[in-house]
Structure 1
C-alpha cells in the first residue's frame, strides 16, 4: 500500500510493480493520477492532452516495469516524466506547425509557378504580335540579359534605335499585361 511519498513505500511499491503486480500498479495510478493530471494541465491547458500525457506516463511505467530503476521519490520521477512528455508533445506540435507552414509555402509557390507560366505565355503571345526585329530586341535585352550596346552590336543597329524600340515594346506589353507588367518587366 502507498503511504505517502516515503522511501520505504516507494521502494515497496516499485518492487511489487517490477514483479508484475497489477494491483500495486493500480494503487500507484490511483494515488498519483490527479497530481500528474494537474501538473500536465497547468502547463498545457488542455484536458484531453493532459489526460493523454498522464496515460502515456503510466503506460510507459507498466511497459518498462521489469527494468525500471527509480532512485528517490516516485512522485518526483512521475512529475519529471510528465514534464518530459509535455516537452516532447510541444516539440512534435512545433514540428507539425513547421511542416504545415512549409506545405503552405510550397502550395503558394506552386500557385505562383502556375501564374508565372500564364504570364510567360502572355508575354510570348504579345511578342508574337511584334515585328520580328522588335521581338528579337526584347528577347535579347529582357530575357537574355544583354546590354543595349550588346544588342546593338548583335543586330547591327544604332543604340538609339534599340532604346526607341524598347520604349515602344514596353508600352505595348504594359497595355497587354495590365497588372502583371511591373512584376516581370
Structure 2
C-alpha cells in the first residue's frame, strides 16, 4: 500500500479505471475524512454526512470504468459531495412541504383519498415494524405510544428506570426510521396522531 500513497491523483484514477481496488482504497483514504467534514458542515448532521460520503464513493466504484473527469479528482469529489448534499436538502424540503400539507389537512379533518391511502399505508408499515421490535422494547414503545404513559409511569409499571424507558423509546424510533427509510418528521407526525 505504501506505493499507492506515493502516486498522484491522476495515477490513482488510471488504476481505478482498470478496477484496481487498492487504488480505490487509497483514494478513499486520501479524501473521505475531508469530504465528510465538508458534508457535515453543509448538513449539520453526522449520519447524513456519512451517507453522502458512502454514496459518492459507491458511485465512483460503480462508475470506475466510465469515469472521464474534466477536472481534478479532488474537484470532482467535492462537486459530487456538494451535489449529493443539495439533492438531499431538496428532498428534505419537498418532504417537509408534503408533511406540512398532510399535517394541516389532518388537523382540519380535510384530506384527499390519496392522502388517506398514503397515511393508512404508512400506519400499516409502522405497525408491522413495531410488531417486529424486541419484546421489551415493543412493550415500552406501545405503552408510550398507544397508552400515552409518561416515562415515569412506564418505569414504575415495568419496574425499570426512567433512563431505560427513554433509551428503549429512542432506540425503537431509530430502528423504525432505519427500517422504513422515512424522514423523522414523517414518523413523528404519525406517532403524534393518536
Scaled by the length of structure 1, the TM-score of the pair is: 0.55
In structure 1, the partner of 2:85 is 86
In structure 2, the partner of 1:147 is none
- Residue pairs, 1:7-156, within 5 angstroms: 9-110=8-109
Deviations 1:5-47 (A, max 9, x none): xxxx222111111111111100100010111011111111111
Deviations 1:71-129 (A, max 9, x none): 231111101111101100000100110110111122133269xxxxxxxxxxxxxxxxx
**Structure 2: gaps spanning 5 or more residues:** 112-194
- The residue matched to 2:109 in structure 1 has which SS? helix
Moved over 4 A (4+): none
Aligned residues: 108
Cα RMSD for the two superposed structures: 1.8
Q: Residue 41 of structure 1 contacts residue 47 of structure 1 at CA under 8 Å; is this kept in 2?
A: yes
Deviations 1:120-169 (A, max 9, x none): xxxxxxxxxxxxxxxxxxxxxxxxxxxxxxxxxxxxxxxxxxxxxxxxxx
Who wins on radius of gyration, i.e. which is larger?
1
Q: Residue 2 of structure 1 contacts residue 28 of structure 1 at CA under 8 Å; is this kept in 2?
A: no
**Structure 1: gaps spanning 5 or more residues:** 113-185
Scaled by the length of structure 2, the TM-score of the pair is: 0.52
